[in-house]
Amino acid sequence: MSDEEDEQARVRDARAGSAAAFGRLVQMHQQALRAFLRRLCGNAADADDLAQESFVFAWEHIGRFDPARSFRPWLFGIAWRKYRERKRSWLRRLLRESAVADSETSFESDPGLKLDLVKATESLPAEQRAAVLLCLGAEFTHVEAATALALPLGTVKSHVARGREKLAAMLGGSNG
Amino acid sequence: MDEPVLKYIWQADVPAADPRFVLAVMARAEQRRFRRELATTIGLAALAVALLALAMPVMEFTWRESFSPYFGNLAILAVLAAVTLLVPQFLPERD
């Protein structure tokens, strides 16, 4: 059984109410989703909390998911919306407290290329960063990323191309 | 830039298999379901109590004025009706 067929079977079982099948889906997608959110949030604890929220939301609303479609873009779409909601509430809180705070958390312990890549990634605008992370980091097709981010396909392609160029320029590597 | 390398670096700090994370997700989902069901039960109970409190004076008045004097007769009527309905169930069927 291929991964895709396995996933479809798990989704079917989860829609029928199987918590074990949904647990397996969590196991299958947790690494990519948490990595995606960590690069978006810049903070592992907040990212894992958002990832849990996203999975719980997916479990509660799996009845609305169309099993003919791919599960991954739907799940990452939930995570992207949760991230934007959370970011808005962070900004509101910051404004309320009138605090001048740097919302970007640093990865002091990460050395070398990883640190450079993380910093370069964090410097991209949020939508562009999300598109780059999905297409280059989580093996999404442009169509899947467009579905997840609720953006036009052309915009996603442009975000990925520009993001890739910026990363290459910042890291001093060749493009491609 | 090599995409597998990017993917590796971006995902390096998250384990490929993390049973604790899966458990945390399922526990959070279960907690939320429990809280929702508890809130629903409490809400329905409060609604029932409120409706009963509103309807009780009318019910009490109706009972006192209309049915209370005939309680004995009503009770006999209910027993007779029950017997009439139940006895045929215990009789053998005829061909």
Q: Kindly report the CATH number assigned to the domain that includes residue A48.
A: 1.10.1740.10
| Rounded Cα–Cα distance for residues A124 and A6 (Å) | 35
Q: Using a CB-CB distance cutoff of 8 angstroms, which residues of chain A are in contact with residue B29?
A: 19, 55-56, 59-60
For residue B64, being part of any structural domain is answered with: yes
CA distance B22 to chain A (A): 6
CA distance B46 to chain A (A): 26
- SS3 category, A79: helix
Q: Which of B3, B7, B25 sits opposite A26 (nearest CB)?
A: B25
Pure H helices in chain A:
3-15, 19-41, 44-60, 71-97, 112-122, 126-132, 142-149, 153-171
Same domain, A100 and A111: no
For residue B82, being part of any structural domain is answered with: yes
**What is the model's pLDDT at position A169?**
84
A131, A159 contact by CB (below 8 A): yes
The amino acid present at A89, given as its one-letter code, is S
For residue B36, being part of any structural domain is answered with: yes
> pLDDT tens digits, chain A, 176 residues: what are they?
677 788 888 999 999 989 999 999 999 999 999 999 998 888 889 999 999 999 999 999 999 998 888 899 999 999 999 999 988 887 777 667 655 444 444 444 445 556 677 778 888 888 898 898 888 888 888 999 998 999 999 999 999 999 888 888 877 754 44
User: B50-89 pLDDT, tens per residue?
Assistant: 999 999 988 888 888 887 888 888 899 999 999 999 988 8
For residue B60, being part of any structural domain is answered with: yes
Same domain, A14 and A100: yes
Q: Is B37 on the interface with A (CB under 8 A)?
A: no
Q: List, in order, residues 6 or more apart from A36 with CB less than 8 Å away.
A: A76, A79, A130, A133, A134, A137, A138, B10
| Pairwise pLDDT comparison (B8 vs A63), residue with the higher score | A63
User: B25-47 pLDDT, tens per residue?
Assistant: 999 999 999 999 999 999 999 99
**What is the model's pLDDT at position A118?**
77
For residue B6, being part of any structural domain is answered with: no
Domain boundary pick from A48, A75, A105: A105
Same domain, A99 and A125: no
Same domain, A119 and A92: no
Contact A137 B25 (CB under 8 A): no
Same domain, A89 and A136: no
CA distance B40 to chain A (A): 16
Q: Is A23 on the interface with B (CB under 8 A)?
A: yes
Same domain, A24 and A57: yes
**What is the model's pLDDT at position A174?**
45
Contact A31 B25 (CB under 8 A): no
**What is the model's pLDDT at position A79?**
95
Q: Is A114 on the interface with B (CB under 8 A)?
A: yes
Query: Is this model's pTM higher than 0.80 or not?
Result: no
Q: Is B80 on the interface with A (CB under 8 A)?
A: no
**What is the model's pLDDT at position B51?**
94
Same domain, A21 and A80: yes
For residue B43, being part of any structural domain is answered with: yes
**What is the model's pLDDT at position A112?**
59
| Rounded Cα–Cα distance for residues A137 and A129 (Å) | 10
For residue B58, being part of any structural domain is answered with: yes
**What is the model's pLDDT at position B38?**
95
CA distance B4 to chain A (A): 8
**What is the model's pLDDT at position A109?**
42
Q: Which of B25, B28, B31, B36 best probes binding to A when mutated, by most A CB atoms within 10 angstroms? A: B25
Same domain, A175 and A130: yes
| Number of domains making up chain A | 2
Same domain, A68 and A5: yes
**What is the model's pLDDT at position A120?**
81
Same domain, A97 and A150: no
**What is the model's pLDDT at position A111?**
52
Domain boundary pick from A105, A129, A150: A105
For residue B8, being part of any structural domain is answered with: no
| Number of domains making up chain B | 1
ipTM, two decimals, is: 0.71
Domain with B61 in it: 13-90
**What is the model's pLDDT at position B67?**
79
**What is the model's pLDDT at position A5?**
81
Domain with A132 in it: 107-176
Q: In chain B, what's the furthest Cα-to-Cα distance?
A: 94
